[in-house]
Chain A
């Protein structure tokens, strides 16, 4: 089985940043990409993301299977937007330049195409940084980072537990599923929807009930080791901040500030080239 969050061990300036820095940067970056619809800033974010991706010494082959998902999701989302609301861009930008008609209410306008360009740019602005974060942060350092940026350590520990047990549960699901299939359970497209749901329950019930038992075992083990006794805890994977960390966080904060400034300066979240 392929690991889901595939950490790629290489030595690069991005790998050297602490997990907390990368998490902080990812949040600032995603808020910047989320708040703005200014095409210029989105283009800067996308280009900067690609540059950081190159600096982190990752290769396209490291992330190729993820790229497939994102592309399908992005195309589908754009298609749905156009099918449901071909005049959305006209409503947003206030002008209407008709290019050609696809019949019925589906008229292609410059405004609509520009809106779709912004949607695609939003994905491109996020994609590189998410990939960088996944590939350059060790999962065990991730939980320590959450605690570092102010999440309560019990919650950070829950996340650590989730990451730790995903492969185990995946494996167990696989085993139960094969055992049940050997007994004649069918989950493929040949069966009706209702019977597929029932078949899924035959796998899920043993999986989930055994996981509930596991919760008891793990929490007993943690209790015996005195988990939760103190208000704070230390982390094996935590690293101290270095100057490069502050520079990285500062730059990302600037991007968010730029996004907020542009929203106020433009008066709306959209940059309008049509007027």
Chain B
């Protein structure tokens, strides 16, 4: 695979953050719990982090999430913004380490990759919403621990489910648009 220009990463972060914002702000699926929407943007984030690496994953999440908070007018809820960034970073690192980064660009995303993609997202979400977000909520905002853990539990589970469905479908669809390695043969 040819080396990617650093400009691609800059643009990927910008477009990724814009997508993250639009999904998080306008494409809300109403959930059974009142006043809670299902966040679709983490499926997109996992897909972008797989394609463009951990740094892109982290910055897409930080910029996108901060812009969402801003657009609602309550400033930046730092603890959850940071948790999103941590998810992008950790997932990006794990997805890079297991090599789907390269395979995906050559149209390869098979059963093993699906399993590794989902194990990575599960682990990264657990760290982000089980440790980082509630921990920072208690430390920074002095909120009651059981309340923030309950919020993060609901958010975390819904994020894991949407990442599993949307992220996996996106990777499969993307792989299908790429020509397979060795799909062309020289005529004898």
Chain A positions near chain B (C-beta within 8 angstroms): 4-5, 30, 34, 37, 63, 66-67, 69-70, 72-74, 76, 80-81, 83-85, 88, 92, 123, 126-127, 129-131, 134, 154-155, 157-166, 168-170, 173, 187, 189, 193, 196-198, 200-201, 203-205, 207-209, 211-212, 214-216, 218-219, 222-223, 227-228, 269-270
- Could you tell me the distance between the alpha carbons of A70 and B22 in the complex, rounded to whole angstroms? 19
Grouping DSSP codes into helix (H, G, I), strand (E, B) and loop, the B interface class, with mixed when no group exceeds half, is helix
Residues of B within 8 A of A163 (CB): 18, 67
Taking the closest CB of chain A, its distance from the CB of B33, in whole angstroms, is 11
- Contact between B76 and A30 (Cβ–Cβ < 8 Å)? yes
Determine which of A73, A162, A218 lies in contact with B21 in the assembled complex, contact meaning CB atoms within 8 Å. A162
Determine which of B8, B70, B73 lies in contact with A127 in the assembled complex, contact meaning CB atoms within 8 Å. B73
- Could you tell me the distance between the alpha carbons of A88 and B22 in the complex, rounded to whole angstroms? 36
- Contact between A126 and B75 (Cβ–Cβ < 8 Å)? yes
- Could you tell me the distance between the alpha carbons of A90 and B62 in the complex, rounded to whole angstroms? 35
- Contact between B170 and A205 (Cβ–Cβ < 8 Å)? yes
Determine which of B38, B70, B173 lies in contact with A5 in the assembled complex, contact meaning CB atoms within 8 Å. B70
Tell whether B100 is near chain A: CB-to-CB under 8 Å.
no
Determine which of B7, B30, B143 lies in contact with A223 in the assembled complex, contact meaning CB atoms within 8 Å. B7
Residues of B within 8 A of A270 (CB): 142
Q: List 17 A-B contacts (CB under 8 A).
A: A30-B76, A80-B147, A80-B151, A84-B147, A85-B146, A92-B142, A127-B75, A162-B63, A163-B18, A165-B18, A197-B38, A197-B162, A200-B40, A208-B170, A216-B8, A219-B11, A228-B7
Residues of B within 8 A of A219 (CB): 5, 7-8, 10-12
Residues of B within 8 A of A204 (CB): 23, 27, 40, 43-44, 166, 170
- Could you tell me the distance between the alpha carbons of A222 and B6 in the complex, rounded to whole angstroms? 11
Please encode chain B, from 49 to 86, with 1 for each CB lying within 8 Å of some chain A CB and 0 for all others: 00100000001000110010011111110100000000
Instruction: Please judge, given known A-B contacts A4-B25, A80-B151, A166-B21, whether A158 and B72 are in contact too, CB under 8 Å.
Output: no
Determine which of A170, A197, A218 lies in contact with B26 in the assembled complex, contact meaning CB atoms within 8 Å. A170
Residue of B nearest to A204 (CB): B166
Size category, B interface: 35 or more
Residue of A nearest to B146 (CB): A84
Residues of A within 8 A of B146 (CB): 84-85
Residues of B within 8 A of A159 (CB): 14, 17, 63
- Contact between A72 and B35 (Cβ–Cβ < 8 Å)? yes
Residues of B within 8 A of A214 (CB): 15
Taking the closest CB of chain B, its distance from the CB of A205, in whole angstroms, is 5
Taking the closest CB of chain B, its distance from the CB of A59, in whole angstroms, is 15
- Could you tell me the distance between the alpha carbons of A194 and B8 in the complex, rounded to whole angstroms? 35
Instruction: Please judge, given known A-B contacts A85-B144, A215-B8, whether A169 and B22 are in contact too, CB under 8 Å.
Output: yes
- Could you tell me the distance between the alpha carbons of A36 and B107 in the complex, rounded to whole angstroms? 52
Tell whether B183 is near chain A: CB-to-CB under 8 Å.
no
Instruction: Please judge, given known A-B contacts A84-B150, A85-B147, A127-B73, whether A166 and B22 are in contact too, CB under 8 Å.
Output: yes
- Contact between B11 and A218 (Cβ–Cβ < 8 Å)? yes
Tell whether B115 is near chain A: CB-to-CB under 8 Å.
no
Taking the closest CB of chain A, its distance from the CB of B138, in whole angstroms, is 11
